[in-house]
Amino acid sequence: MKLLKEKIMNDGKVLSDTVLKVDSFLNHQIDPLLMKEIGEEFANRFTDEVITKILTIESSGIAPSTMLGLTIGAPVVFARKRKSLTLSGNLYSSKVHSFTKNETNEISVSKDFLSPDDNVLIVDDFLANGEAVKGLLDIAQQSGATVVGVGIVIEKGFQQGGQILREQGIRVESLANIKSLANGQIEFFDY
Amino acid sequence: MKLLKEKIMNDGKVLSDTVLKVDSFLNHQIDPLLMKEIGEEFANRFTDEVITKILTIESSGIAPSTMLGLTIGAPVVFARKRKSLTLSGNLYSSKVHSFTKNETNEISVSKDFLSPDDNVLIVDDFLANGEAVKGLLDIAQQSGATVVGVGIVIEKGFQQGGQILREQGIRVESLANIKSLANGQIEFFDY
């Protein structure tokens, strides 16, 4: 996705060989017009699939997922990272380790919002080691829903998450796939 | 806002005299079309103001804020509830107590994304005791930005947050204002 790659090149900050900071348009400040175009691009990539529900995880997955949901007319469900008092019992849960934050969270989705009738597209902002997507896949599988694929805004293709998922036969569509962050330079895979 | 009130009447669940659960369209599952209409209604309410930045808090404020941002062409900044390793230093911070979750979080916004030149609209999903909005106001004030007002999806008008803010001269626009949740019945203020 050309616009996204340009935004990453212009506004992304390489903090190390593995960490790319895109806080100015995706993870902390949000560029709503870019989110709309990302939502439309996800819709294009999965136009051959009937999607009844978009499953993401708080917080940075919410904006692109909501724009996709608006485009295709499907609701979004975001997994919560901690239980709140008004969201107790009746949950699908899974554990997710975040290497960036160096912590393990239990993520949860209410059983009210995923069912065996659902065709689910999983969406997230980043794919690195694949921990968050694995947790969301686990939750979708617990519900009996069908997962039609995974839509990722930025894949770190030099880490193993995408490869592991694709080897399991899961369709993964990344709008930007980073080949390397070495020497402070952002390099994309060409496709 | 008629559509929102209908949604609350049809899909909201009264858990107690003070707790309204709207997990099916706002706080856990998100209705993207409703979010778009909410964003447009906020834009209408504040059409007399120049807004350069929308300030909200993760997670449930993100979807309505992003739709507002799309409508008026302004970026969204969401305050984070915990520090991550890629968001350290250079922060405005404030403490927010959540009565629903019975915990106090430090919320933070990077100094990169708020400045004295900004005209900020604060947006959140709920206004009850006003703790989250007070934290966001504190952060906006630390940055030197001008706060043009507060946009709330659902105000619990029977709690004191809205009154306290309005008595301070802050413009608060709520798209639905609940008068009472007593006896399991949802009653709105008429305006």
Any idea what the CATH number is for the domain that residue B129 is in? 3.40.50.2020
Q: What is the pLDDT of residue A98?
A: 80
Q: Do B29 and A86 touch (CB under 8 A)?
A: no
How large is the average pLDDT for residues A77-106?
A: 81
Cβ–Cβ contact A58 with B under 8 A: yes
B70, B82, B100 ranked by CB distance to A85: nearest: B100
Identify the closest residue of chain B to A18 by CA–CA distance: B86
Question: Tell me: the pLDDT tens digits for B96-127?
Answer: 988 777 888 899 999 999 999 999 999 999 99
Q: Do B78 and A28 touch (CB under 8 A)?
A: yes
Rounded to whole angstroms, the Cα distance separating A135 from A124 reads 12
> How many domains would you assign to chain B?
1
pLDDT of B41 over the 90 cut: yes
How large is the average pLDDT for residues A118-132?
A: 97
Q: Do B32 and A76 touch (CB under 8 A)?
A: yes
- Pick the closest to residue B20 from B186, B162, B173 (CA basis): B186
A23, A85, A112 ranked by CB distance to B87: nearest: A23
A26 to A96, A130, A166, A169: CA distances (angstroms): 21, 18, 25, 28
Mean pLDDT for chain A? 95
Query: How close does chain B come to A63, measured CA to CA in Å?
Result: 6
Q: What is the pLDDT of residue B105?
A: 87
The answer to whether A79 and A139 are in contact (CB under 8 A) is yes
Q: With bands split at pLDDT 50, 70 and 90, how would you rate the model's confidence at A97?
A: confident
A188 to A61, A129, A164: CA distances (angstroms): 21, 17, 19
Chain A hits for B108, CB-CB cut-off 8 Å, are none
Q: Do A110 and B76 touch (CB under 8 A)?
A: no
Chain A hits for B86, CB-CB cut-off 8 Å, are 15, 19, 21, 23, 27, 100
Query: How close does chain B come to A15, measured CA to CA in Å?
Result: 8
A76, A100, A110 ranked by CB distance to B23: nearest: A110
The answer to whether B142 and B92 are in contact (CB under 8 A) is yes
Rounded to whole angstroms, the Cα distance separating A114 from A17 reads 38
The answer to whether B172 and B150 are in contact (CB under 8 A) is yes
Question: Tell me: the pLDDT tens digits for B65-103?
Answer: 999 999 999 999 999 987 554 556 799 999 998 877 788
Query: How close does chain B come to A69, measured CA to CA in Å?
Result: 6
Cβ–Cβ contact A3 with B under 8 A: no
Q: With bands split at pLDDT 50, 70 and 90, how would you rate the model's confidence at B53?
A: very high
Q: Do A36 and B70 touch (CB under 8 A)?
A: yes
Chain A hits for B69, CB-CB cut-off 8 Å, are 30, 32
Rounded to whole angstroms, the Cα distance separating B62 from A62 reads 7
Rounded to whole angstroms, the Cα distance separating B191 from B188 reads 9
* Domain region containing B105: 2-188
β A76-79/A91-98 pair status? unpaired
